[in-house]
Amino acid sequence: MSKRIDGARRAARIVHALKCPVCGNPVHIEDDGRLLCMENHSFDFAKQGYVNVLTRPAGGHYDKELFEARRRIMMDSGLYAPFHKAVADLVRERSLPSVMPGVLADIGCGEGTHLHRILQQLSGMDVMGAGLDIAKEGVQLAARDFQDAVWLVGDLAQSPFADHSIHVILNILSPSNYEEFTRMLAPGGLLIKAVPASGYLRELREALYSDKRRTYSNEETIGLFDRHFRRTETIPLRYSVRLDRLQLQDLVRMTPLSWSPDPAAVKAFLNRDFAEITVELDLLVGEPGDW
């Protein structure tokens, strides 16, 4: 079976959770690998197995090299392994529907490694993953490497997810649209948002910057979350992982922290055989405020 048809068949399992991003009507999956609505808005699955539902071109800083670096470091180093376990534990505790697959949507999925690692830990549960990102380069890699989820290129502001259809939303180190999250979440659904805490990648930040960017506060981000969602739990994670020289190169490639500093500072940071890197995240768990 081709990846294109396989991707379309995976999408058919959660077609109830999808809508047309143009008109908002329900969609169905054609046998030839198209997502089609009653108004005949049509979106073809690509040969890699993803579907592009963008209604206008999108740009950005994120390129294939960045996403490849993210995939390598997450697959090889265990940099986010405790985080993936914490998220999987949260999902496992939820009561998911028994009639159809529960839908776990990663909004801002990039190259899909976070969602893939979390789904691996949920094997045995009737849950389908869906990853959405505006960066086609990332979603192409996700569809190429991971055949355990539905992969979509799309804009959160014109989301292809139907009203009240998603049981768990993941929003990992990515921008949020809380109005859309509220619309998308099924009754009893959960938003899990991962935000960096003050120690996140501290060693990299301190090596590359000498100004206020050496420090970070997530108070504003948490405040925005609390204005839109009722926070039911906060899970702080803090640990360190030893990265070797090649993994440090990937760390620099994958993070926006390295986009604007002095090249000499980057070179000095990479001139080492290994380094202990701190991962400090706050997992904000919440429900829409009007429930």
Residues annotated within the binding site for S-adenosyl-L-methionine are: 80, 111-112, 200
Query: What token pair was written down for 29?
Result: 């999956």
Q: Which residues contact 18 (CB under 8 A, 6 or more apart)?
A: 11, 26, 27, 35, 160, 161, 162, 165
Cα atoms found within 13 Å of the Cα of residue 45, Cβ hemisphere only? 27
Q: Which of 95, 154, 155 is nearest to 127 (CA)?
A: 95
Binding-site residues for Zn(2+) sit at: 20, 23, 37, 41
Write down the residue that tokens 């506060």 correspond to.
217
- 3-class secondary-structure state, position 88: helix
Q: What share of the chain is helix, strand, coil (3-state, %, to 5)?
A: 35, 30, 35
CB atoms closer than 10 angstroms to residue 61: 8
The sign one gets for the Cα dihedral 117, 179, 153, 172 is negative
Binding-site residues sit at: 20, 23, 37, 41, 80, 111-112, 200
First-to-last alpha carbon distance for the chain, in angstroms, is: 43
- 3-class secondary-structure state, position 200: coil
Query: What token pair was written down for 260?
Result: 């604007």
Distance between CA 249 and CA 246 in Å, rounded?
5
Q: Which residues contact 227 (CB under 8 A, 6 or more apart)?
A: none
